Amino acid sequence: MDINHMNFQDYLNALSGLNLSNMYLKDFFLTWEKTDDEIKGIWTVADALRYLRSHNISTKVFDSGLGISLFRDNSTRTRFSFASACNLLGLEVQDLDEKKSQIAHGETVRETANMISFMADVIGIRDDMYIGKGNKYMHDVTDAVQQGYDDGILEQRPTLVNLQCDIDHPTQIMADTLHCIHELGGIENMKGKKIAMTWAYSPSYGKPLSVPQGCIGLMTRLGANVVLAHPEGYDIMPEVEDIARKQAAASGGSFTKTNSMEEAFKDADIVYPKSWAPFAAMEERTELYGNGDQEGIDRLEKELLAHNAGFKNWTCSEELMKTTKEGKAIYLHCLPADISGVSCEEGEVDASVFDRYRDSLYKQASYKPYVIAAMILLEKFRDAPAVLKALEEKGTPRIFR
Amino acid sequence: MDINHMNFQDYLNALSGLNLSNMYLKDFFLTWEKTDDEIKGIWTVADALRYLRSHNISTKVFDSGLGISLFRDNSTRTRFSFASACNLLGLEVQDLDEKKSQIAHGETVRETANMISFMADVIGIRDDMYIGKGNKYMHDVTDAVQQGYDDGILEQRPTLVNLQCDIDHPTQIMADTLHCIHELGGIENMKGKKIAMTWAYSPSYGKPLSVPQGCIGLMTRLGANVVLAHPEGYDIMPEVEDIARKQAAASGGSFTKTNSMEEAFKDADIVYPKSWAPFAAMEERTELYGNGDQEGIDRLEKELLAHNAGFKNWTCSEELMKTTKEGKAIYLHCLPADISGVSCEEGEVDASVFDRYRDSLYKQASYKPYVIAAMILLEKFRDAPAVLKALEEKGTPRIFR
Amino acid sequence: MDINHMNFQDYLNALSGLNLSNMYLKDFFLTWEKTDDEIKGIWTVADALRYLRSHNISTKVFDSGLGISLFRDNSTRTRFSFASACNLLGLEVQDLDEKKSQIAHGETVRETANMISFMADVIGIRDDMYIGKGNKYMHDVTDAVQQGYDDGILEQRPTLVNLQCDIDHPTQIMADTLHCIHELGGIENMKGKKIAMTWAYSPSYGKPLSVPQGCIGLMTRLGANVVLAHPEGYDIMPEVEDIARKQAAASGGSFTKTNSMEEAFKDADIVYPKSWAPFAAMEERTELYGNGDQEGIDRLEKELLAHNAGFKNWTCSEELMKTTKEGKAIYLHCLPADISGVSCEEGEVDASVFDRYRDSLYKQASYKPYVIAAMILLEKFRDAPAVLKALEEKGTPRIFR
């Protein structure tokens, strides 16, 4: 069945075979902590929600309730995606702006988490700046609200959506992959495809590792041949590579590494060229930060920028694109991209390549609100497919008619 | 028919004769880009929405959806008006705070506009600081989302409400004029009235030209005799004067200019005394800003303030008010006003004049949320009058009873 | 009847005997300005709202409408409580961020209050920083909107919830007391209980007086024996002590003062150890602030911190807790607490005491959203009990099922 021409019953049918019961009142941290059924379930629910909205059917399942957001880093895309997802389901976003908040010095995460959660159904957190911190913080928050719920303090258990941590960027990479699935006509068509997750040069510093890690951590599950390419020294977390290796073996795909962008692009079906900082440097920065060593951080930044500059040829050029499968690989980026001659002198991608793929890139981004909404729906409802069915039958219009 | 005593059917009747079909999925930039029917349509829908709300009838036409706001300048009145309008119709405001956003250096407007619009029904923008910039930026945004919609990226076409640009301040001046229409008992009573849009002294610097331009760009359409008064050198955009001239000729009114506040006030039915910066100076400032010449900007500010100080006698005094029609002209201001002896030593208006007109001024401001809501309703619904009728028949209470 | 095992009809019965009619379209400034019936009414409505929400019944009484918040001091707990309460009732929070607002120098409170209120149903304000300012400001705001309503400018009268002023912190202390009532099994069980409102050492400076004042201003009404304890010089507002004295006499309880924490804790049923600044110092600070004397403010801060340090033994230790009734007094705190060895070296409470009461403290905090919602419901509806009954009968689910 072509995934791009499903009717509503097709989504329900697709969901009926999946075991999704274990998602209820759980959180979403990392894609590889979820079963294949659960990952498929999120994609299918995302598509079903999109179907309903595009047919002007309301998907408001909350009559009231808050979706708490906490962004420890600037964000436009993810902020608006989370706000859109919450609004789509009927939750009002309440942002925890740590600058305007009275969070006492030494106040425990446990306390803050409970204090903001009395009427919270969902918590979305972005915390990607320091290795070993972001994901841990999210666990601290969910442990706290779970305990608050168990102890009778919270009337409902707010569930978490990881909006980017130091390890994974699940809402991003789930959206990216759903885009590929639609481009290729179905999840089964990901099998055997060559996917090049490659480093690319950017004049900026210290971009998170969560996208390349998220990519190899998810796409290796689908039977694809995933290649991770980067200059020597730009390694990512070894633990995630291990996961990718194991998953590839299980799925009948492969996971390989190379220090050649050319090799990665050769005959690739999908390319994801993007800058990131070396894992070792990120660890060093985390330690410097822990020691309050701003001078050290500044020095590190200078070193990294200088080192980066040695790899300006790692760019997604027209020439490289021509070497992909029929010269027509799907080009992915989480945006914003560093476009040569547009946002910087030399960057991750040629302007003409970016321009040609612009619509595709924006379409890729458009899946994120639905992926987030699907995660929320599956975390908050024991039987999400039944909820979808009931919404469709009820048919309340989103826009008055 | 007295506009202040219409029943709901009267509004529907008034709308039935108007051609409003071309507003659907379009934007609102400048009042003079709209037909007379469309301008009247907005006022009538605004009044009808107010009627419904004051009769405790819900006007929530969106079950979910976002209203994006982008304020590139501080704002209280317009911010709350936009929030009120969105809420009245069922949209949740999501503010694009450029300081908290990850908008990359060199990121195109096209990209940002699409990224925030996946679930946006409306975008409201205030961008009034630099000549030639604000209105252009709004067009860039709407071009981008139109293309996104055409290319299948956006599922709906978010429409724009201009919340103030360098050329016009349509939500303000539409509210101002609707207030006058109510004060005078009907739109036909604007005919032949003398309206004095005059400069007034303020100790502050660089107030936008959008209000005087908006005033002469709208009120000349109603058969009024509009006088623009300012000290020599305080000219506004010549293009807008041309429009005013043409419109006045077509409507049977007039558009004249003078360098005498006294002449403008003499026998006026409506006065709008307000500070603004000379167009030429605003152009110079825009150029200095473009060159990053902060020193030049500071120097210009000093010069302008010194120059301003030569015109302290341009103030809306009790003496001047006495010279208006029967001494009882409608006094307009977009607020906040610079009130002599209250917010500054010498300013735009005598404290006693301001005090006497306070209720009228606040009433004037109260139309803005309804004008914005009317723009949205007409932009988002193919047949807004039918929607109003259905809302009234449905009669869902706004407040539970 | 055990307050912890009431069914919905019990709440309605409890409300039926109370005279609540005078709350309609009024504001909430100070608890002692309200009748006993009104105070009981708020607690009962709060419990009834909690009952409905915990039974998944929507309490959305507003189909649209804004709840305006204005925080002149950082806040997490109260900010989220107000947001939760508004959302629970169907109001959208619109924050008046004075930094992003165009509030002109010298603009009157009257003007700002009206400008933000065109579609506001509720206004929540925190303004606790300066003696003689916060409560007065709130009155200025409500006077302004009352006049706006009377003059036909505002279509509805937004009512105020005091989210903390210089005199009282009613939403806090109403929540604190409701927690005690539940812990003790009913309001009648507050009679004769010994309540120790005591100062405690904190290394920080200038905490507001509103909590101790709020405590003695409310708990003395319930027939309790309220003891106010603090080191010499750490007096609170004498006017509030007068009120406490009169209320204690009327209720059959007592109000006493001591300079001994030990004496206050001895056999106490409830203890509320918490830091605050001396009233005289707060008055001095207000005057320095009025004179723009930052140097003086800094000097005062240093003096106060040095003076504070003489009272480090005023801490809620395990030893002191043992001296309370059966060693098991209810320990209250508005949070965040200064916990010795956790958030500071030496503070208001031992870590082991805080840990033991953690669940109880969080539960205490959980009442605040419901107390605020109850205030709003009683201020905005002529017959709140009838509204509750109708909501229960309608039975719209909060979460889809």
A3-167+368-394, CATH topology level: Rossmann fold (3.40.50)
What's the pLDDT score for residue A99? 77
Q: Round to whole Å and give the CA distance between B342 and B339.
A: 5
Residue C106 has pLDDT above 70, yes or no: no
Give the neighbours of chain C: at least 3 Cβ pairs within 8 Å.
Answer: A, B
Please, what is the angle between helix C384-394 and helix C8-16, to 10°? 160
Closest CB to C102: pick one of B75, B84, B398. Answer: B75
Give tens-digit pLDDT for C269-295.
999 999 999 999 989 988 998 899 999
What's the pLDDT score for residue B1? 67
Residue C94 has pLDDT above 70, yes or no: yes
CA distance C320 to chain B (A): 47
Q: Outline which parts of chain A fall under CATH 3.40.50.1370.
A: 3-167+368-394, 171-365
Residues in C touching A105 (Cβ below 8 Å): 343-344
Within B193-278, residue ranges assigned H as helices are 210-219, 238-251, 261-265
Give tens-digit pLDDT for A258-284.
999 999 999 999 999 999 999 998 899
- Which residues in C182-236 belong to E strands, given as ranges? 194-199, 225-229
More confident residue, C73 or C227: C227
Residues in A touching C80 (Cβ below 8 Å): 66, 94, 96, 115-116, 118
CATH number for the region B171-363 comes to 3.40.50.1370
- B361 band by pLDDT with thresholds 50, 70 and 90: very high
Residue B345: closest CA among chain C residues belongs to which residue?
Answer: C106
- A205 band by pLDDT with thresholds 50, 70 and 90: confident
Mean of the per-residue pLDDT values for chain A?
95
Q: Do C381 and B362 touch (CB under 8 A)?
A: no
Residue B116: closest CA among chain A residues belongs to which residue?
Answer: A80
What's the pLDDT score for residue C102? 64
Instruction: Please report the DSSP string for C139-168 in residue order.
Output: HHHHHHHHHHHHTTS-SS-PEEEES--SS-
Give the neighbours of chain A: at least 3 Cβ pairs within 8 Å.
Answer: B, C
Torsion angle of the four alpha carbons B46, B50, B51, B56, in this order, in degrees rounded to the nearest 10: 140
What's the pLDDT score for residue B75? 85
Residue A124 has pLDDT above 70, yes or no: yes
Q: Which residues of A touch C (CB under 8 A)?
A: 60-66, 92, 94, 96, 100-108, 110-112, 114-116, 118-119, 121, 148, 151-155, 380-381, 387, 390-391
Residues 6+ apart with CB under 8 A from A186: A1, A2, A3
Residue C104 has pLDDT above 90, yes or no: no
What's the pLDDT score for residue B105? 64
Mean of the per-residue pLDDT values for chain B?
95
Give tens-digit pLDDT for A27-62.
999 999 999 999 999 999 999 999 999 999 999 999
Within B90-157, residue ranges assigned H as helices are 109-115, 134-150
Residue B106 has pLDDT above 70, yes or no: no
CA distances from B108 to B111, C95, C309, C370 (A): 5, 30, 57, 46
Q: Do C335 and A115 touch (CB under 8 A)?
A: yes
CA distance A316 to chain B (A): 18
Q: Do B107 and A336 touch (CB under 8 A)?
A: yes
Sign of the CA dihedral B255, B261, B263, B268?
Answer: positive
Sign of the CA dihedral C145, C146, C149, C155?
Answer: positive
Residues in A touching B94 (Cβ below 8 Å): 80, 83, 87, 93
Residue B331 structure tokens: 């006094």
Q: Do C80 and A118 touch (CB under 8 A)?
A: yes
CA B234 to chain centre: 21
Please, what is the angle between helix C77-89 and helix C170-184, to 10°? 80
Residue B393 has pLDDT above 90, yes or no: yes
Give tens-digit pLDDT for A225-255.
999 999 999 999 999 999 999 999 999 999 9
Residue A58: closest CA among chain B residues belongs to which residue?
Answer: B63
Residue A178 has pLDDT above 80, yes or no: yes
Give the neighbours of chain B: at least 3 Cβ pairs within 8 Å.
Answer: A, C
Give tens-digit pLDDT for A335-386.
999 999 998 999 999 999 999 999 999 999 999 999 999 999 999 999 999 9
Write the DSSP symbol of residue A329: P
Give the type of residue at B355: D
Residue B100 has pLDDT above 80, yes or no: no
Closest CB to B116: pick one of A76, A339, A342. Answer: A76
Q: Best residue in B362, B364, B391, B394 to probe C by mutation, most C CBs within 10 Å? A: B362
Q: Outline which parts of chain B fall under CATH 3.40.50.1370.
A: 3-167+368-394, 171-363
Q: Round to whole Å and give the CA distance between A321 and A270.
A: 10
Q: Do B64 and A398 touch (CB under 8 A)?
A: yes
Q: Do B102 and A336 touch (CB under 8 A)?
A: yes
CA distance C102 to chain B (A): 5
What's the pLDDT score for residue A102? 64
Give tens-digit pLDDT for B160-182.
999 999 999 999 999 999 999 99
Give tens-digit pLDDT for B62-93.
999 999 999 988 888 999 999 999 999 999 99
Give tens-digit pLDDT for C238-261.
999 999 999 999 999 999 999 999
Q: Which residues of A touch B (CB under 8 A)?
A: 50, 53-54, 58-60, 71, 73-77, 79-81, 83-84, 87-88, 90, 92-93, 335-336, 338-339, 342-344, 359, 362-363, 365-366, 368-369, 396-400
CATH number for the region C172-365 comes to 3.40.50.1370
Residue C107 has pLDDT above 90, yes or no: no
Q: Do B380 and A366 touch (CB under 8 A)?
A: no
- B2 band by pLDDT with thresholds 50, 70 and 90: confident
- B14 band by pLDDT with thresholds 50, 70 and 90: very high
- CATH architecture classification, A171-365: 3-Layer(aba) Sandwich (3.40)
Residues in B touching A84 (Cβ below 8 Å): 66, 118-119
- A129 band by pLDDT with thresholds 50, 70 and 90: confident
Residue C345: closest CA among chain A residues belongs to which residue?
Answer: A106
Among the listed residues C61, C152, C143, C147, the one whose alpha carbon sits nearest the alpha carbon of residue C380: C61
Give tens-digit pLDDT for B300-323.
999 999 999 999 999 999 999 999
Determine what percent of chain B is predicted with pLDDT higher than 90.
90
Residue B120 has pLDDT above 80, yes or no: yes
Residues in B touching C65 (Cβ below 8 Å): 87, 398-399
Residue B101 has pLDDT above 80, yes or no: no
CA distance C342 to chain A (A): 6
Q: Do C73 and A102 touch (CB under 8 A)?
A: yes
Q: Do C101 and B343 touch (CB under 8 A)?
A: no
The arithmetic mean of pLDDT across residues A117-142, rounded, is 95
Torsion angle of the four alpha carbons A346, A348, A351, A353, in this order, in degrees rounded to the nearest 10: 150
What's the pLDDT score for residue A289? 87
Residue A187 has pLDDT above 90, yes or no: yes
Residues in B touching A59 (Cβ below 8 Å): 64
List b or e across C371-396, with b for residues whose CB sees 16 or more CB atoms inside 10 angstroms: bbbbbbbbbbbeebbebbbebbeeee
Q: Which residues of C touch A (CB under 8 A)?
A: 50, 53-54, 58-60, 71, 73-77, 79-81, 83-84, 87-88, 90, 92-93, 335-336, 338-339, 342-344, 358-359, 362-363, 365-366, 368-369, 396-400
What's the pLDDT score for residue A105? 64
Residue B269 has pLDDT above 90, yes or no: yes
Residues in A touching B103 (Cβ below 8 Å): 76, 336
Q: Outline which parts of chain C fall under CATH 3.40.50.1370.
A: 3-167+368-394, 172-365
Residue A363: closest CA among chain B residues belongs to which residue?
Answer: B153
In the A/C pair of chains, how many CB contacts fall below 8 A?
A: 112
Q: Do C155 and B53 touch (CB under 8 A)?
A: yes
The arithmetic mean of pLDDT across residues B293-304, rounded, is 92
Residue A104 has pLDDT above 80, yes or no: no
Give tens-digit pLDDT for C363-395.
999 999 999 999 999 999 999 999 999 999 999
Residue C2 has pLDDT above 90, yes or no: no
Q: Do B87 and C64 touch (CB under 8 A)?
A: yes
- pTM as predicted: 0.97
Helix (H) or strand (E) holding A40: helix A36-54
Q: Do C359 and A151 touch (CB under 8 A)?
A: yes
Closest CB to B74: pick one of C63, C102, C111. Answer: C102
Q: Round to whole Å and give the CA distance between C19 and C222.
A: 18
The arithmetic mean of pLDDT across residues B204-221, rounded, is 94
The two beta strands, B330-331 and B270-274, are parallel
CA distance B253 to chain C (A): 31
Helix (H) or strand (E) holding A125: strand A120-126
The arithmetic mean of pLDDT across residues A191-208, rounded, is 94
Closest CB to C80: pick one of A94, A104, A152. Answer: A94
What's the pLDDT score for residue A130? 87
Q: Round to whole Å and give the CA distance between C23 and C33.
A: 11
Instruction: Please report the DSSP string for A58-118 in residue order.
Output: ----BSS-EEEEEESS--SHHHHHHHHHHHHHTPEEEE--TTTS---TT--HHHHHHHT-T
In the B/C pair of chains, how many CB contacts fall below 8 A?
A: 112
The arithmetic mean of pLDDT across residues A175-184, rounded, is 98
Q: Do C151 and B87 touch (CB under 8 A)?
A: no
Q: Round to whole Å and give the CA distance between C394 and C401.
A: 15
The arithmetic mean of pLDDT across residues A114-120, rounded, is 97
Determine what percent of chain B is predicted with pLDDT higher than 70.
98
Q: Which residues of B touch C (CB under 8 A)?
A: 50, 53-54, 58-60, 71, 73-77, 79-81, 83-84, 87-88, 90, 92-93, 335-336, 338-339, 342-344, 358-359, 362-363, 365-366, 368-369, 396-400
